[in-house]
Each structure stands twice: as C-alpha cells, then as structure tokens.
Structure 1
C-alpha cells in the first residue's frame, strides 16, 4: 500500500531494469519489453530506465542497436508509459554522470549531443531543458571527435547531423537554447522565492521579488516567467502541509489583485499568466499524481477552484480547459495521452465550485484557520469570552464558537479562559467560565488535544503571569485538583509541566486552597482529601510522569529512525529504553509507541510512512526483529495502540483535514496484512465504538469519526488483491 517499489530495494530495481534492457536488445520484441515494464510496476524509478537506455544508446555509437533502443524509448514516452518528468529526471541524472562516463566512453558527450539534436522533435519541453545541464561547454556546431556529428571512424554516420543544418536553422537553434536557459533560470528563481516565502511568510517581499526578479530574464517575456511561477508555486505547495498551501493561495491572490499587491500599475501577475500557468499545471496532472498518489489530483482541483473564487481565473477558463482536453489541443504529448487524468482535475474543480456555499468552503479548504491571521483569531476569542462573561448565555457563546470555525486555534480559547478563571479568583465569574469550558470539552466542541495544548501554553506562561497575578499558580493548582474528574488523561499530563515545584498539599497563599483573604473559600480543596486518597493521587501522578517520559522517548526514537532508517537500532532502543520506565509496564509503553509512530508518520511524507510501517512489522515479527524471545512488541500492545489511535481519529482529522482519516485507515489495514492485528480486532473496535465502550470521552462523542476509520480499513481489506495493494499505497518510492 505504500508504493509500487515497496518490497524491493533500489539495487534490485536497477538489476531488473538492466535485465529488461538486455533482453530487449537480444530479442528486439518491444511488446514483451513493455509488458515486463508494466509487471515491474515502478513508475517512480522510470528515471533509472531512461538513464540506462541512454547509456546503452551512447555506448552503441550508432547502428541498429542504438536505433532500436531509441524507438523503444520514444514509444514509451509518447504513450506516457514513461512520464515526461521521469524521462527528464533520467536524462538529468545521465548528464550529471557524463564526465565520469567519458573516461571509459570518450565519445559519450558527442553521441548524446547528436541524439538530442536528432530526436528533439518528440521531446517534451522539460526534457530539452534537463538536457542543457552539464553540456553547456560543448559547441553547438562541432562534436568532440568529428564535425557535424560524424565520428572519425564513421560508425555514427547514420546518426550524423546533416551539414545543411546551418544558417537560419542554426540561429533558430541558438535562440531556442537561449530561451530554454531562461526558462530554467526562471524556474530556479521561482523556487528560491517560494522557499524563502514559506520560511518567512513575508508576502510583500515575495511580491517584490516576483515583480523585479522574474522580469529580468533575457529571451523570456515577463508574462511567461509569471506563468512558470504560478505552476511552480502549486507544485511546490503539493510537497508541503496544508498551512503552506494556504500561504501559497494567499500569495497568488496578492499577486493577482492590484490593491493587495500594494504596487502601482495594476496586479503583478496578469490573468493571462494565471490562465497559462494553471493550464500547464492541469496538463501535468498525470505526472503529479505519481508523486502524490493519495491526494494529488484533489489538491490540484482545490487550487484550481480557489483560483476562480479569488478571481485569478474566470469560470470560462475551466470550460476552455475541458474543450482543449477533449479535442486534444494541449501542447504536450504526455498531456494528450493522459487527458482523462487532466479532465478529472478540471471537472472536480467545477463540482467544487457548483456546491452550496462553495466560496466559503474554498476559503477554508486548507484548514480551519485559513483566511485569518492568528492576531485576528485571538481578538475574536477575547471578544467571545467578554460577551459570555457579560451575558452568561452559554448557547450564544457556543454558536459564536461554531461560526468562528477555528478548531485549530481552540488552544487559544482554552488559554484565555484559564487566565480569566485564575484572574477572577473564585466567585460566580470563575464558576461560569469553568461550566462553559467543561461543556465544550465534554461535547468535544473543544477537543482534548486542543484543551491539553492550551493548558500547556498557559502553564508555560505562568511565571510571567505571576508577576501581575501573584495568586495565579495557587488558583491553577486548585482548579486542576477540583475539576480533574472530567479531564481527559492528556490534559492532566499537560498540567504537570511547569508546576512540579508547587506542593501537592499546600497552595502558595494558604493551605488546602483557601486564600488569605478568603475569596477562594468556595474553591477550596476539601480537608478530607488526605490519607489513601493522597497516596492514590501520588501514584497516579507517578504513572502520568512515566507516560509522559515514554511518549518523549518514543518521539526521540522515531525522529532518529526517520533520519537514519536504521531498523536494528530502532528495535534495540524500543526493546531496552521503553522497558525502563518505572510505574509503567512494558506492554503499555509499547502501545504508546505504536500510537506515537503513526501520529508522527502523519506529519511526514509517504516514504516516511512506509518506513514506519516497516518498523512496526519488524517490531511485531520474531524473525524480523533478530532478537531472542519472540517479537519485541506483542499483539496486545498493537491492539491497544491502534485502539487508542482510532479513538483519537477526530483530533487527528483536525490536524490533517485533507487525508488524515484515510491515512489512519491505511495504517490500520496494513497492520492486519502484516499480521500485527487480526481481522477480529477490527470487529471488536466497531463493537466497542457502537456501544460506547472506549475509555475516552472524546472518542465516545466522536464515535462516528472513529467508526469511519475502521470501516474504511475493512473495505480496503475486502477489496480484490488487497494485500498487494496495501503493500503499495504510499507512492512508488516507498521501500
């Protein structure tokens, strides 16, 4: 499920490609070669096929073998069995290796130059651009070992550049080469501008650089450079998270809006450039789907629909895209052969635009906070709390919170409400705020993870707050002891941070929570909370501390593993370090690791998700782990870890709105295929969810979300060839 190359190393794929080419050279059977390529099923590694075929062409130095290989390569590219991006990447890799190859094959550069001049008619544009790299020092007119492409021994006569290719034709070639160089430079500048913008989020600086730097390219008009920037912006955004995609959408809107750009003379990027840039993006949809198999096409459709909502495109542009695709009028051979993929993108964008409240939905397609700055959200939250304190109308407050629609920022609501409770120092205002906060948490309008994050932020700010509100720590400690009955577990863990120095029994300004002025008497800790109850509290606090430490160790192990991909070292650390936690049995620590592994993987790319799946398999397989005494992680820990993950699906969907639930379902189904879980475990999850038996309040209130995850996993497992598909679903570079 994590990609077509799953289960094979790159060395094995290279060997298979070499064998395929050798068999084709001996038999000349193109149909058999294409069938073998389909069976190999590694579209992400077709650049290796391209590289090896080019080397074989160059080494053949003309003749029937070279012609036969070129015919096969051309057929693969024109039928889109090898995509233009993979062809370009393979050619780029071959060009980079030319200097080393020339030591063994002195005529390599000359043969490659001849090949590029002779076959350029069927090359996609990006292939020609890639070919320029590494061979700029070669003459456009003379090849290393002879003139006009004729080698000294005559072997390449059949591949010679015709002597009449001079004069106007040569000038045209030089002009085309200069334009391609400018295109390449504009793409590189666009990439630099985008990466800097995603780091700084400085819109004005990005606009200035687009206006100034992309207008400086010789042999390339500004409108063309801007179209390249539009395509590059969306392509780069696809490799990043939703917050970066929203940032790119905002930048494009600023570039296309005269007032927003703050520059004189109209918008920086004109409608014609947006239209051309998105047309190029749509035509490349098939290649982009290979790089982003899970969400690529839908994400492009969202960008396309958002551009219409932002008035960068007009609806008629989508109609023209459809007509061009249906009549084969796009200028890329790969786009024509993959027209169905491009049509799917445009039609999906049209459906998104025709939906009810389309504009409002598309303004928020990249996450709930899209369209507002954090400062604006903080101000709205402050206003909401002030209105509630004055009116006491909880229903109105909850309605306003739903309208605000920023579940990603509910941690700010939690933080501000806690501050208001602490500053109120008891009394009706504090009680009213606590009632509202409890109602929001128990109804899951504020998720447990957002509550925990808000409490954590408030705890970190306690020292500064105590300068203005000396009783802040005491009030917070009273609040935590008094209200703990309705707290989710992770909220209690977050509360431990920053207040460990406070006594478990005495509050700063008084004993048992009674403030010296008596204001907090109604909030006092009852004096009978001693003896066995205190020992139980101490034991629970120790266990929470161990849980927190196990989560931190799990996170450290996973981050190191994703950097090194050293499975054996990761297994050793899990086996040794997670068994050392006091007050926490190893099976519990391992369950926490399983949940943390999938949660961390959701924040990373598909290749990392595949790596995590492999690590979990090694941990659950006695032979794979290479350790004596059975698997490192037992079935019970996997079952508990995935149950905890399923119960947290609602919170994870907020962090990953576009693909979160489906990705969790894939991990769950993959665990069954890898025999870490058994199918009966999924049945038990469904029964527990349907009867409200999971132990998390947020899981019960969000049971429908968790059920969706498990049922999706069951559908994936019941599909035809399920095991094979689930070994290949995260993109072809997986494994």
Structure 2
C-alpha cells in the first residue's frame, strides 16, 4: 500500500532544517538526491516506501528547491551541461564584499558569459582598454564628409598684422616696462609674439623718442636694447629706416625736448659704434641736408666718432644708472663734482650733476665726501662754499634729512682716523657742525652727537687740574 504525502511543509520545520545542514553538504548532495530519487516524484508529490520517513521527504524537497534556486542564479556563469544533459556546477566562488560588487564591471543581470562590459572599456570615466594604444585613424574615402583638400592640412595659430593705430599703445608699455627691469630678452620675446609686419622699423624710433624724455640711464638702456634686437628681431635696414624717420621728425621732437638734436646724434654715434648702423650712414647725408636740427644731430655724431680715436668710449657715454654703477665709480664722480664746484661756485650746476647720478639712496656718500674735503682743506673758502652747497641741497630736498644725518654720522665715526692725518680735524668739525646747525642744515640731535676732543693741558705742581679725556 502506497501512502501519498502532501508536498506542503511547515515553514518552521524548513527553518529548522536549514540550520542542520552544512552549506557544502547541501550543495554537493542536492544534485545526488535529486538524481537518486527522481523516480519517487510523481506530479510534484513525493512517494515514500515503508522505509522512508517524513524527515527524508522534507530533506528531498529542500534539496530540490535549493537546486532550482542555484541553477537560476548561476545560469551562464560557469554552469555547463554534461553529455547526458545533467547540470554540473562549477567551482564555488567566494563571496565578495559590497564595495567590490560596486566596482565589479561584470553584468549584474545574470546574463552573458560573465565578462566585463565592452571588454573593460565601457562605463563612465573610462578612456579605453588598459594598455590600448591608438594608431593613426585611416581616412575613409567613401565617407560622405570626406574632403580631399583637407586631408593633409596643417593648422597653426596666426596673429593678425599689427595696425598703425594700435602700434604705439601696444609697444610703448613694453618699452616703459623695460626701463624698469632692463631685461632685453623679455622685450625680444614680447615683440616676437606680435606680428609687427611693416611696423617693424618703427620700434627703434619709438624707443628713442621715449628715451629722449627719460633719464640718462634710460637712454643707456635704450642703446643696449637696440644693439640686442638688431639681428634677432630687427634687421640693419630696419634700423637705418628708423633713424631716418627720427632725423625727419627732429623739428617736432625739439618742441618737447630742446636738446633732441644732440641726443639723437649721440644715439647715432652709439649705433655706429655698436655696428647696428653702417659706418657710411653719416656720410650718406653729406650735401643733402636742409634742416638745421638734422645737420646738428649728424655733426654731433661725427664729432663723437672722431673722438673715439682719442680714447673716448662711446659705449659709456650715457653712463650706468643708479644701482647698476659700481660704488667706487660713484665715489670718484662725486669727488670730481665737488672739485668742479669749488672751482666754479655754480650751485645749480652741482645740484643738476648730483641729480643726474640717479642715486638718491647714496647721497650720504656725497655729504661725507664734502665734510671730509672741508676737514682736509686749508683756509675758509672751502668751508664756506661747502656749507652753502649743503644748505641749498637741503632746502631744495635734493638731499633728504635721512641722507644728511647718515652723512654726518659717518664722519663722526671716522673722525679718529681722519685726525691722524689732519691734527685739527676735531676743531674744524666742531665749527662746521655748529655752522650747519645755525643755517638749518641739521637739527639739534645731530649736533649733540658731534664728538669733541678735550685739550690736554700741562699743569704745574700743586694744581688740581684734571686732564680731560676724549669723548665721542
């Protein structure tokens, strides 16, 4: 007698059964149980013999459900069919963490062969397969957008030619900035980026016209700039045409700069000395000059070039500006300035020469040299003239209060050494400091800092006099 069992199994019983099996035994024994007892299943019901129990039926039903669940989950992932059509499980894969699942590029739809999407080259932020090297793309001549004329085109950035109306406002800031830093290479790079075109020959004339209204140091920088630009950015013909324009515009330049003819003549002589103008440039104007300013400029250039035979260095005619000049050279020029003033007595000329040195931070050296000259001089002429000069320079603020104070303090510090060569140095310094305070050159603080040397007096016996020591 056969007894038909109900396929329904209590949920609680199934829960208890799930805990009693090890996962590995369930997986491996599921298919064996299904194959072994496949004949006992009829229409979804289990047929048990007298030796089978309800417990075995429940185990078989659980194994069947687990087999169906695993087969649907792992379809296409390593499962294969044997020759007799039985499903064979692949190697068990270790579970992965949630983070690794997010970075996994395999399909999550349970379809396909389990390979990465698009061979690992798909998805957001992916540039292609790892290690893939792109070769030149072949042009398809059958493409409807194919254009034979553009097949071998080379594209490059082209700057439009600089127009005349934009030339001055574009190049002038470059030259003005060069007067501050003095780097000719930077100017050459900036001009190379501009498409000057026919305006190339206007660069030297613009630089010289700006230098005429500037200082002597800026004129020296302009001469160096022209020498460095010739050959790399500008040609010699550009230089000649530019100086021709300057000579034609001299009547207009004289209105703003009265000494323009002499200055332009110096620029021409310097350009010939630097070999950016030919030696026959000045001779080419002989007999065909009608403007007096042009004639004055060419005569000045010719005279300077003849003086080079006598030892004049045209490359140093403008001088070096400010901090670019050696200290010993500045000291020498200040001494020459003071000696020339003692001979001429022209205070305005001395003030102009001091201003042309362009070293306001070094004026304390001028004050020091002037006072030392007074200490080493004989007579009252140098004493009075130097006092007048310092008074005038202080009143016009050509020498600041700080520079004047530093000059006096330097004399105070060196008076002991000066006294070795000039025995009356202390006495003369006291008088000069008092007169300087009375005329308003220095204030009371600087006057009180003046060192005074007490006179050693010889005392007789019994005299209680005490020898005064030197005080500084």
| TM-score bracket relative to the smaller structure | 0.3 to 0.5
TM-score normalised by structure 2 residue count: 0.43
In proportion to residue count, which structure has more helix?
Answer: 1
Of the two, which has the highest radius of gyration? 2
TM-score by length of 1: 0.30
Higher relative contact order (CA 8 A, sep 6+): 1
